[in-house]
C-alpha cells in the first residue's frame, strides 16, 4: 500500500490530478474537498458528507489531512493565545494568535529552530532542527481557524463601537520560529495556497514575511509575483554594530539588504517595514536614530520599533520608555514613519522574543527540540 502523504503540501490546482491518481474523478470533486478543508476546517475525510463514501475511503488511504496536535494553549489577559503544536515526528513549534480590533493575526513558524543566531532571540540558542513542510506551516493556520470557529473572540469596543466577532484568521505574519526565507520553497508554496481563490483565499496584503535579511532571497520573493508585505529586521544603523547583534551581517550586510529591498516591487502606498529591536544602551541612542533615518531616507518605508522583551539569561535590557519615545521622535522629525510595537501576551510569555518553554508543562520539558520563538505583532 502506498504511504499516506499530506495533501496540504500541494497546491489546490494540483488536487484534481492527485485525487484522480487514486480513482479518476471530475474536477468538481477536488473543489468539494478544497471547500471542506479551507472553508470548514475539515481534517478528516469522513466529515465530507457530500462526497461518496467509497471515494472518501480510497482517498483516506492515500492522502493525509491531519492537523498538528494541539499540546497546549495559553490565553493572555489581552486575548493573545499561544499555541504549542506537536508535529508528526515529535518536533514542536509554536504559533501565536493575536486578536485585535477587526484583526485575527496569526504569527506562524517556518522552521523548527533557526540557524541565523540573532543575539537578542532565544530561538537562536537551539540552532536549526529542520525546515517545516508547507502542510505544517498551513497546519498552524488550520488549528487557529478551528479554535476561532469554536470560540470566536471579540476585542472589546472602540469609541463605543463594538469590534467584530473574530472567527477566522485574517492576517498572517511569518515572524515565529525560524527564518522563512531560508525555507524558501516551502514559504512560496504556503503563500500560494494561502492566497489561492480555491485555497485560503487571503489577500497577499494581509500577509507579512519577516526576514533577518537574506538579500538574494528578498529578490527571489519579489520575483515570485506574490505581493506580500516585506519586513526586514535591521536592529542597527551600522554594519559593525549589526555584525555584533546579527552574525548574518557578515554574509548579508546592510548595504546588500538595502540593495535587494530597492528591487522589491511595491504596490501603491505599500511600504517596506524595517524592524528595529531596541536594546537599552546598545542601539537606542539619539545619534543611532539619526543614522537610521539617513539610511532609510531613500526608501518608501516604515520603522517598527520593538522595545526588547527581556528573558532570563539575556545580556540585554529594555530601554526606558523616554528613550524609546526620543528614538521614535527623531525618526519622525527626519520624515521617517516610525511606530512602537505594542507588547501583547506578556503575561503568558507570548510577546515578541519572549516565548519560552513553560517549565510547568511536562510535555515541553521532555522536548530537547523546543525553546522559544520570536513572534511579533503585525506590521
Is residue 13 flagged as an active site residue? Answer: no
- CA pair distance 213, 260, nearest whole angstrom: 9
Closest distance between ligand SF4 and the C-beta of residue 179, in Å? 4
Closest distance between ligand SF4 and the C-beta of residue 343, in Å? 16
Is residue 123 involved in binding ligand SF4 (CB under 6 A)? yes
Is residue 278 involved in binding ligand SF4 (CB under 6 A)? no
Instruction: List the catalytic residue out of 94, 136, 179, 275.
Output: 94
Helix locations, the chain, DSSP H: 15-20, 27-34, 53-62, 123-126, 134-150, 184-195, 215-223, 239-245, 254-262, 286-296, 321-333, 362-365
Closer residue to ligand SF4 in complex, CB, 112/188: 112
Is residue 118 involved in binding ligand SF4 (CB under 6 A)? yes
- CA pair distance 175, 269, nearest whole angstrom: 23
Is residue 320 flagged as an active site residue? Answer: no
Is residue 114 involved in binding ligand SF4 (CB under 6 A)? yes
Count of residues that bind ligand SF4 according to CB under 6 A = 12
- CA pair distance 82, 95, nearest whole angstrom: 6
Closer residue to ligand SF4 in complex, CB, 195/309: 309
- CA pair distance 298, 236, nearest whole angstrom: 17
Is residue 121 involved in binding ligand SF4 (CB under 6 A)? yes
Question: What would the x/- binding string for ligand SF4 be over residues 30 to 69, using CB under 6 A?
Answer: ----------------------------------------
Question: What would the x/- binding string for ligand SF4 be over residues 201 to 240, using CB under 6 A?
Answer: -----------x----------------------------
- CA pair distance 40, 131, nearest whole angstrom: 28
C-alpha cell at 25: 474523478
The three-point CA angle 135-39-84 to 5° equals 45
- CA pair distance 367, 371, nearest whole angstrom: 9
Q: What are phi and psi of 243, to 5 degrees?
A: -60, -35
Closer residue to ligand SF4 in complex, CB, 182/324: 182
Instruction: List the catalytic residue out of 107, 114, 118, 352.
Output: 352
Is residue 187 involved in binding ligand SF4 (CB under 6 A)? no
Closest distance between ligand SF4 and the C-beta of residue 252, in Å? 11
C-alpha cell at 48: 465530507
- CA pair distance 130, 110, nearest whole angstrom: 9
Closer residue to ligand SF4 in complex, CB, 172/330: 172
Residues in contact with ligand SF4 by CB under 6 A are 114, 116-118, 121, 123-124, 177-179, 212, 374
Amino acid at each position: 500500500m502506498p504511504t499516506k502523504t499530506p495533501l496540504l503540501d500541494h497546491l489546490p490546482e494540483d488536487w484534481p490530478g492527485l485525487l484522480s491518481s487514486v480513482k479518476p474523478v471530475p474536477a468538481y470533486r477536488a473543489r468539494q474537498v478544497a471547500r471542506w478543508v479551507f472553508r470548514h476546517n475539515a481534517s478528516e475525510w469522513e466529515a465530507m458528507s457530500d462526497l461518496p463514501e467509497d471515494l472518501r475511503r480510497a482517498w483516506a488511504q492515500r492522502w493525509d489531512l491531519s492537523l498538528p496536535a494541539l499540546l497546549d494553549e495559553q490565553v493572555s489577559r489581552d486575548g493573545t493565545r499561544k499555541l504549542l503544536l506537536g508535529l508528526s515526528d515529535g518536533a514542536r513549534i509554536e504559533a501565536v494568535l493575536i486578536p485585535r480590533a477587526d484583526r485575527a493575526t496569526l504569527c506562524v513558524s517556518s522552521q523548527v529552530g533557526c540557524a541565523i543566531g540573532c543575539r537578542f532571540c532565544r530561538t537562536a540558542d537551539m540552532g536549526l532542527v529542520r525546515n517545516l513542510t508547507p502542510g505544517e506551516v498551513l497546519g498552524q493556520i488550520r488549528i487557529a481557524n478551528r479554535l476561532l470557529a469554536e470560540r470566536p473572540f471579540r476585542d472589546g469596543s472602540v469609541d463605543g463601537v463594538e469590534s467584530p466577532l473574530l472567527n477566522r484568521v485574517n492576517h498572517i505574519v511569518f515572524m515565529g520560529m525560524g527564518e522563512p526565507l531560508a525555507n524558501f520553497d516551502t514559504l512560496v508554496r504556503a503563500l500560494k495556497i494561502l492566497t489561492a481563490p480555491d485555497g485560503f483565499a487571503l489577500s497577499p496584503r494581509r500577509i507579512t514575511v519577516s526576514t533577518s535579511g537574506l538579500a538574494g532571497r528578498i529578490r527571489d520573493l519579489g520575483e515570485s509575483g506574490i505581493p506580500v508585505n516585506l519586513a526586514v529586521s535591521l536592529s542597527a544603523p551600522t554594519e559593525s554594530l549589526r555584525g555584533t547583534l546579527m552574525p548574518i551581517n557578515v554574509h548579508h550586510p546592510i548595504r546588500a539588504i538595502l540593495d535587494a529591498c530597492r528591487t522589491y516591487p511595491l504596490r501603491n502606498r505599500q511600504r517596506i517595514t524595517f524592524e528595529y529591536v531596541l536594546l537599552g544602551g546598545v542601539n537606542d541612542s539619539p545619534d543611532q536614530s539619526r543614522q537610521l533615518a539617513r539610511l532609510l531616507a531613500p526608501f518608501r518605508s516604515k520603522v517598527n520599533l520593538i522595545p526588547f522583551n527581556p528573558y532570563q539569561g539575556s545580556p540585554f535590557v529594555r530601554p526606558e520608555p523616554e528613550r524609546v519615545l526620543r528614538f521614535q521622535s527623531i525618526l519622525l522629525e527626519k520624515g521617517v514613519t516610525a511606530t512602537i510595537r505594542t507588547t501583547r501576551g506578556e503575561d503568558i510569555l507570548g510577546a515578541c522574543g519572549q516565548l519560552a518553554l513553560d517549565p510547568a508543562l511536562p510535555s515541553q520539558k521532555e522536548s530537547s527540540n523546543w525553546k522559544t520563538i520570536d513572534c511579533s505583532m503585525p506590521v
